[in-house]
Amino acid sequence: MRKTEVHGTVADGFGEVREEFTAFVAEENGEPGAQLAVFHHGRQVVDLWAGADVTGETLTGLHSSTKGATYLVVALLVQDGVLDLDQAVARHWPEFAVAGKAGITLRDVLTHRTGVIGAEDGFTVEELADDRVIAARVAGQRPLWRPGSAYGYGGFVTGALLGEVVRRITGSTIQELFEARIREPYGLDLFLGLPAEHEPRYLPIQPWLATPEQRAEFEAYSPAPHSIAGISYNLGPAFTPADVMAFPNARVVRAKGQSSGGGVGSARGLAALYAAAVSEVDGRAPMLKPDTAGEFAMLHSVGTDLVGGPVSYALGFQAKGQSYPFLSTHAFGHNGSAGSEGFADPRTGIAYGYTRRRAAFAFNAPENERLAAAVTRAATALS
């Protein structure tokens, strides 16, 4: 088998997507170990993969694409009236109400406006694997900026903050709710807590490939440990950008399915998640009503992310139309450090899922833009 060979199928009208995927894989010498899955109005139309050992059933680390699953649980609870976006976090979690955090709402958490984005002295991998440990540690902290005055991506902790509120109100963890309400009913290949029986399908994330020049340039721009970005990425002597990438390779992280970055899945799982959120799938109504989807896709934080990166946020989800100009203002999703990405664009009915086990250099996987563009062109032509 040639490394660059592409496997899988596409539906009529999506041939251009296969061509784009094939071209990308060839340019990367077959290295990315990538999967691409797309649903269109609830029906899978793209199911492709390429790379040594990788199949359509392969599971790998999703990093922050995990947050899409976490936010979907939150959206369902808001839709049910269980959570109130504009209520103070501290109402249900009194330990949080210190050092100027009493007024912080769930909406602030979802829009990265709290200033609570990590722990200054860093977490060990074992601590970082556990949402409750994270929540207990950050509860007493002073925010890094005046809450509401700015936004900065809370890479490792946002899910834990949400999870603590969810747990205090419902008695269940986000992981339990995800399993019961979403993963199991839809049979998704996307886990917040990977059962041991699925472990054989897990392929570890591989470090990125970089020339010495790239490596030097990356290091020159790496955030210092005690900077805002350093705190968000948990950087320090004992935790480097390579450890960010390797995070889901630790069994404890996968086992607990940490809600900010410990999810495991396939491109099929990611795409099916977003399809179930906004489309009728196999006769089942979309999980999100239009009003809920509308609110969670509405732009909330735009401008300068203090952690870095020109990302605009809707409610938790990234506002994908701000990143990819061909998507609509209704598109929402999330990407992850190694290059994985999932999103839905209700305007075209697209649900997109992508993974790569070979990490993209410098947390940057531009192939998503060209692949998503090809998907959008194909879907639009069919409408």
Q: How far is the CB of 297 from its own copies (least distance, A)?
A: 9
Paired strand residues for 39 = 44, 351
Q: How far is the CB of 304 from its own copies (least distance, A)?
A: 6
Q: How far is the CB of 218 from its own copies (least distance, A)?
A: 15
Q: How far is the CB of 150 from its own copies (least distance, A)?
A: 5
Q: Which SS3 state, helix, strand or coil, does residue 253 take?
A: helix
- Structural tokens at position 37: 């899955």
CB distance 61 to 249 below 8 Å: yes
Q: How far is the CB of 319 from its own copies (least distance, A)?
A: 9
Q: How far is the CB of 112 from its own copies (least distance, A)?
A: 12
Q: Which is nearer to its own copies, 214 or 304 (CB)?
A: 304
Paired strand residues for 319 = 332
Residue 359's φ and ψ, nearest 5 degrees, are -60, 140
Residue 23's φ and ψ, nearest 5 degrees, are -60, -45
Q: How far is the CB of 293 from its own copies (least distance, A)?
A: 10
Q: How far apart are CA 109 and CA 84, in angstroms?
A: 12
- Structural tokens at position 234: 């948990």
Q: Which is nearer to its own copies, 148 or 207 (CB)?
A: 148
CB distance 269 to 39 below 8 Å: no
Q: Which is nearer to its own copies, 58 or 376 (CB)?
A: 376
In 3D space, the residue among 313, 278, 308 whose CA is nearest the CA of residue 293 turns out to be 278
Q: Which is nearer to its own copies, 99 or 238 (CB)?
A: 99
Q: How far is the CB of 250 from its own copies (least distance, A)?
A: 27
Q: Which SS3 state, helix, strand or coil, does residue 129 take?
A: coil
CA angle, 36 then 162 then 196, to 5°: 55
Q: Which is nearer to its own copies, 229 or 253 (CB)?
A: 229
Measuring CA to CA, how many Å separate 312 from each of 28, 317, 347? 29, 9, 19
Q: Which is nearer to its own copies, 56 or 294 (CB)?
A: 294
Chain residues that interact with its own copies, rule: CB under 8 A? 99-100, 115, 120, 142-146, 149-150, 223-224, 226-228, 231, 291, 294-295, 298-304, 306, 321, 325-329, 347
Give the DSSP letter string of 147-177. TTS-B---TTTHHHHHHHHHHHHHSS-HHHH
CB distance 181 to 76 below 8 Å: yes
- Structural tokens at position 163: 């999870």
Q: Which is nearer to its own copies, 172 or 227 (CB)?
A: 227
In 3D space, the residue among 223, 199, 229 whose CA is nearest the CA of residue 61 turns out to be 199
Q: How far is the CB of 296 from its own copies (least distance, A)?
A: 11
Q: Which SS3 state, helix, strand or coil, does residue 60 take?
A: strand
Q: Which is nearer to its own copies, 13 or 100 (CB)?
A: 100
Q: How far is the CB of 291 from its own copies (least distance, A)?
A: 7
Q: Which is nearer to its own copies, 196 or 221 (CB)?
A: 221
Q: Which is nearer to its own copies, 90 or 190 (CB)?
A: 90
Q: How far apart are CA 291 and CA 11, in angstroms?
A: 31
Contacts of 219 (CB under 8 A, 6+ apart): none
